[in-house]
Amino acid sequence: MRRVNTFTVVPRSPEDEELLRRLLDASASLWNELTYERRQQFFDGESVWDTADYRKQYVGVLGSATAQQVIRKNSEAWRSFFAARDNGEDTAPPGYWGNEDDGRELRTYIRNDQYTLRWGDCSTIEITVGSDLKDKYDMGYRERLTLDVRGRPKWSGDQGRLELYYDELSDQFRAIQPVTVEGSRQDSPLANETAALDIGANNIVACTTTTGQQYLYEGRELFERFRDTTREIARLQSLLEDGRYTSKRIRRLYRRRTRRRDHAMGALARDLMERLYEEGVSTVYVGDLTDVLETHWSVRVNAKTHNFWAFRAFINRLACTAEEYGITVEVRPEAWTSQECPNCGSTEDTTRHRDTLTCTCGFEGHADLTASETFLRRHESNVPRPMARPVCLKWDDHQWSALTRRAASRSHTRNLRFLGTSSRAHRPNEEHTNPQVTAGESA
């Protein structure tokens, strides 16, 4: 399994910082020159792979291995671009890392055998630099640049290619280290249970399992905070002088908005997989939202599906987290699951109003939970009717926890009722909601 450690890198002296900046700036210059040539060749209809030997031009500053890694990363970006284009996606060719006048993005890639990380009370990292930089800064022939490291590794295993970059907003140098971890973190075997997920924005995930359990993760407040930050970004952009499109404050808001969302989504993936692992689930079906993302027309819905809702990134996070627990994630078509009545199977006689799905046959239930149950039945023949009342969870900026009775009473306008208590000892505040009672605002 591939996992990632992230940490902060701190130069030991002003001279070390100057050397590091020169190294990262040279990498950005190499990337930009190679990208420029390949873009010109692409737009002229020529092969992008027949280029000058930029490794030789930058070997004195970067070293041969690092120069080659930047070139390889650039080639990977172009291969991804061509693969996406072959799949019919409308995407742009790889771009530049800034420019010399406005400032380059300071970034480089270091091969796994060209750096050494030592973890301890005073953690350090040693990286190679080119002979020209060694001469300029009076370094020995075999000497490496030694930098301090702040942070602790989350994962241990075989180290991969290191990404080292300067974060302008926090004024810090940061590193991303991929590692290969052997095996699953879980030791006990899984049962042969399955689960299906209905993914949305108001209710981020509705889940039904073949054990008869259901989970509902609400996302309304997350989206409203996302919208509030978006409005503040728009307000600040309207105050910029002509010719300016961003500022340091705006970039910070963009990053804060993304980090809040990604933190909640990452925590959701882990919370859900922990629950499914306890249920003995070995396979999770996730609906393919490609067509949904392309057909929504509402401005508000578009803001959710395209800006707030990073579907592919969330599926990747789910798959990576599931891998730790030995659970397989499969993306399958889910057409009409949100409109199909679980009692009579009709899609024409049903009506969805906000979170409620009703049918002329007399059925009334939570639309998203019903959709996840219908989705599961399409792939599993033996799916019992959910016996326990679904667990309804809400984000509190730290973890996903079920709503309490007091919170439920404040949500009376959404007609949510919470009955019973959870059997999980470490979730004492968990409550359950009746799946046959209507809830909230439209998804």
pLDDT at residue number 189: 60
- Spatial distance between the Cα atoms of 316 and 322, rounded to a whole number of angstroms: 10
Q: What is the pTM of this model?
A: 0.63
pLDDT at residue number 403: 65
pLDDT at residue number 427: 40
Q: Cα-Cα-Cα-Cα dihedral of 124, 128, 134, 136, to 10°?
A: -80
The CATH number given to 193-220+270-433 is 3.30.420
- Spatial distance between the Cα atoms of 206 and 196, rounded to a whole number of angstroms: 8
pLDDT at residue number 429: 36
Asked if residues 99 and 131 have their Cβ atoms less than 8 Å apart, the reply is no
| Digit-coded pLDDT (tens) for 101-122 | 777 899 999 999 999 999 988 9
Asked if residues 211 and 300 have their Cβ atoms less than 8 Å apart, the reply is no
Asked if residues 261 and 310 have their Cβ atoms less than 8 Å apart, the reply is yes
Q: Where are the domains of the chain?
A: 2-180, 193-220+270-433
Long-range (24+ apart) CB contacts under 8 A made by 424-429 are 424/278, 427/401, 427/402, 429/401, 429/402, 429/404
Q: Which amino acid is at 63?
A: G
* Cα distances (angstroms) measured from residue 429 to each of 157, 270, 391, 405, 422: 37, 19, 11, 9, 8
Asked if residues 223 and 241 have their Cβ atoms less than 8 Å apart, the reply is no
Strand bridging mode 203-209 / 214-218: antiparallel
Taking Cα atoms as reference points, which of 309, 323, 327 lies closest to residue 262?
Answer: 309
Consecutive sets of 10 residues in the chain, 443 residues long: mean pLDDT of each? 88 96 95 95 92 91 94 94 88 88 87 93 94 94 94 86 91 92 63 88 88 91 88 92 87 88 89 91 82 44 55 82 86 79 82 84 87 89 77 87 54 36 37 39 34
User: In sequence order, what are the beta bridge partners of 400?
Assistant: 395
User: In sequence order, what are the beta bridge partners of 217?
Assistant: 205, 393
- Which residue, chain included where needed, has tokens 């075989």? 158
